[in-house]
Amino acid sequence: MIDVVVLFFLFGLAAGLLRSELKLPVALYESLSVFLLVAIGLKGGQGLASQALVPLLPQLLAVVVLGLVLTLIAFLILQYIGRFSRADASSMAAHYGSVSVATFAVGVNWLMTRDIPFESQMTIFLAVMEVPAILVGIVLMRGVSRQTRWGALAHEALLGKGVTLLLGGMFIGWAAGPDGLAPIKPLFFDLFKGVLALFLLEMGLIVSHQMDELKKRGLFILSFAILMPLLGAVLGIGCGILLGLSLGGVTLLATLAASASYIAVPATMRLAIPEANPVISLAAVLGVTFPFNILIGIPLYHRWASYFIGVAG
């Protein structure tokens, strides 16, 4: 059965496509995204409080490599098959090598609704996978040049709103532990689903506005925006199995690898590769990949993960 939060997304999408006057206040959308990032961070941090952190380092390295590989694959496809300019290919590849918090949140919700457990370090994977693709995208475009303002870009990538909130939430969750978090649990954990539903309503509206652009851009973008997440999911499943994650963990890593960033990366790419047309990447990421992942992708990746874990086991 379709998740209730996804119904909210479809509601927003329909309202937008029907050109309804529905519009959420900008401040609400921003507040909901802050809430989701902190809530995800707290939950991950709480789980980390009860496990050793050093064994996680090789896993973090593995997911960084996964992000780099995805960026390179996307770049090669876009430049040599899609015949994109170097700027557009680099920028869009960075979007696909990075990850989407909203997609991750829907994945977490999907697993929680079905009582499927997953590892708490998935939240760190989320934070860690946001950044490498951005740096690779810039290197693909500029090479390693002295003119690149690495300091400013690293600041933007590492201390952007998303990563800061996630890491801050994680630190608080880790430091406070389950008992310390008990007083704020009603707000951050119990209301998670309701907030996610409202957030997805707004996402539906945003996605509906990408449709006109998508119609203009044709079949290649559409195919890329569906095939790239499928390929990402397969690599994510492989990586998850190699790391010995549980079924829930493998599903979430596949979801992360399949997802594409629409907040951190567009903002950084706008500054780092101004020649790239931001409209193309956003149409692909928001118009196709995001809805594909939350409507079809996540259940599919879960099924694939079950199958491959069965084969590997």
Whose Cβ is closer to another protein: residue 34's or residue 176's? 34
Three-state SS for 49?
A: coil
Whose CA is closest to 290, among 86, 4, 98, 24? 98
Whose Cβ is closer to another protein: residue 161's or residue 193's? 161
Whose Cβ is closer to another protein: residue 59's or residue 210's? 210
Distance (Å, rounded) from C-alpha 180 to C-alpha 186?
A: 13
Whose Cβ is closer to another protein: residue 65's or residue 271's? 271
- Contact residues toward another protein (CB under 8 A) are 23-24, 26, 29-30, 205-206, 209, 213, 262-263, 266-267, 270-271, 274-275, 278-279, 282
CB of 91 vs another protein, minimal distance in Å: 12
CB of 26 vs another protein, minimal distance in Å: 6
**Contact present, 90 and 141 (Cβ < 8 Å):** yes
CB of 199 vs another protein, minimal distance in Å: 12
Q: What are the helix (H) ranges across the chain?
A: 4-17, 26-48, 56-76, 86-97, 101-113, 122-130, 132-142, 150-158, 161-181, 185, 192-208, 211-217, 219-242, 247-258, 264-272, 278-284, 290-292, 298-312
Whose Cβ is closer to another protein: residue 213's or residue 226's? 213
Residue 78 neighbours by CB distance under 10 Å: 26
CB of 266 vs another protein, minimal distance in Å: 5
**Contact present, 288 and 222 (Cβ < 8 Å):** yes
CB of 125 vs another protein, minimal distance in Å: 24
